[in-house]
Structure 1
Amino acid sequence: MILPAEFYDRDPRQVAVDLLGCVLVHDSSEGRASGVIVETEAYRPDDPACHAYNGPTLRNSSIFGPPGTAYVYLSYGMHVLLNAVCGAEGVGSPVLIRALRPLEGVDLMRYRRGRGSNLAGGPGRLTQALGVSLEYDGASLVEGPLFISWGESAGGEIVATTRVGISRGAELPWRYLLHGEESVSVKPKVIARRNLQRRWGRVRDRSARRARPA
C-alpha cells in the first residue's frame, strides 16, 4: 500500500518513527530500485536546523507544500537529499530519509553508485543509488514514480538518538533508527529513548475494523 497523504499529516517525529520499515521505491526508465527505510531524522519549523525556520524562500518553497510532498535539495553543493513533507500545508515540517537497506534493483544501485557495498547508508548515497535527482523537488510521494509503501514490520528495535551533520539543534534526539542495523549512516553514540512504537499500523487496523460490515 502506497502511503496516503494523511500518513504524513502529523507531527514529523511520529512520522519519522512510522517510516522505519517502510519501503522507498523509485520506478525509472532504467528500472525499479527500492530499499527498506532504516533511519530517519525529523525537523520542525521552530527548530533552528530546519530549512523552514526563517520562512519561505525560492529554494525551500517545497518544504511548505502539502503533506506527502518531496522536498529535495542539494547539501554542501554535492549531495542530493530527500525529505518527506509532514504536517499541514504551509507549516514546513520535513522528515529526512537517512538510510535504506537495499531491496530491489541492487545491481542498478551498484551501477549508479560505482561500488558494491554501502549502497544506501546515508542520505546522499541513497538518492544516488535510487536515481533521485533535484527534479523531484516538489513532486508527490503519494502518486508518481517516487513513492513510499507501508511495511508491516520495522524489523528491529526502534531507538531515538541525536541528529548528525548539522551545526544547530544537533542535541535534539530526533534521529530514529533500527538498533543494530548495519545500513544506518552513523551508529548512535547516545540512545535517548528505546523501544519506540509505530502507530500508523494500529490506527489503520482500527479504521479497517470500524469500516468492516457487521
Structure 2
Amino acid sequence: MSISNPNNHQFATPQSLSDWLRPRLPSDSFASWGVTPGTKNVDNLWLEISEGETSLADSTPPIRTVNVVTVRVIGKNNLILLESHQELSDGSVRDRCKPLSEKMKPNETPQAAVFRAIKEELGSILNDAGAVTIVPGSYKEKLEERNSVSYPGLPARYVLHTVDVVVDGLPEGDFCTEEAEEYADSEEKRAAERAVSVKRHFWKWVSPESLQSS
C-alpha cells in the first residue's frame, strides 16, 4: 500500500500560499503562525505541500490532510521510545511526548516511511549501524481529526499508520539526536531557511502503561 495526494493544491511560492490562506483563516490565528512558541510558519506549510506531505482542501477554513507514520520503537524490557521534546531553530522548546513520527511522502509505503523516519530522526546516533526489524502483524491505521498545534486555526485530518519496530544500537538511557539538513540549493532550501525547523530531538524510554495513560 502506498499513499498519494492526487488533489493536492500547489502553490508556486510561500507568498502565494499566504495570500490564499489569509482570507480563509481567522486573522488572529494566522498571525500567530511562527510567532507563538511551538507553532510553524507559512514556509513550513509550503514545504509540506511542495514535498507532497500535506494536501489542503479548498474550503473555509481549509482542511489539512496528512499521512503520518508512527514508529513505536520497542526496547529492552518492552520499553517504548518516546520523543519527550524538541529544540527548534527559533530557540523554543516544543513538548512532544509521542513515539517517533514522520509525515509520509507521496506514493510511499508505510514500511518505506518507517525506515526513512528512523534514518532521519535517529540516524545521527546510529551512524547507519542499527539494524531495523519491523514486528510482524503490528501495523495499524487510524484516522484522527483535530485542530493543528503547529498551524493554529487550520483543522487537520491525520491518517496515522502505526508500526512496531526493534532498532539495534540505541542507548538504553535518555539521549538526543540532531536533525540533518534536507534541501539542496533551491526555492525549497530558501523556504527551509525561513521555516521553523527542528534542531534536536530528545528521547526517553517509557513503559507501555505510561504511554497508554498519557
Q: TM-score scaled to structure 2, two decimals?
A: 0.25
Task: Choose 1 or 2 for highest CA Rg.
Answer: 2
Which protein has the bigger helix share? Answer: 2
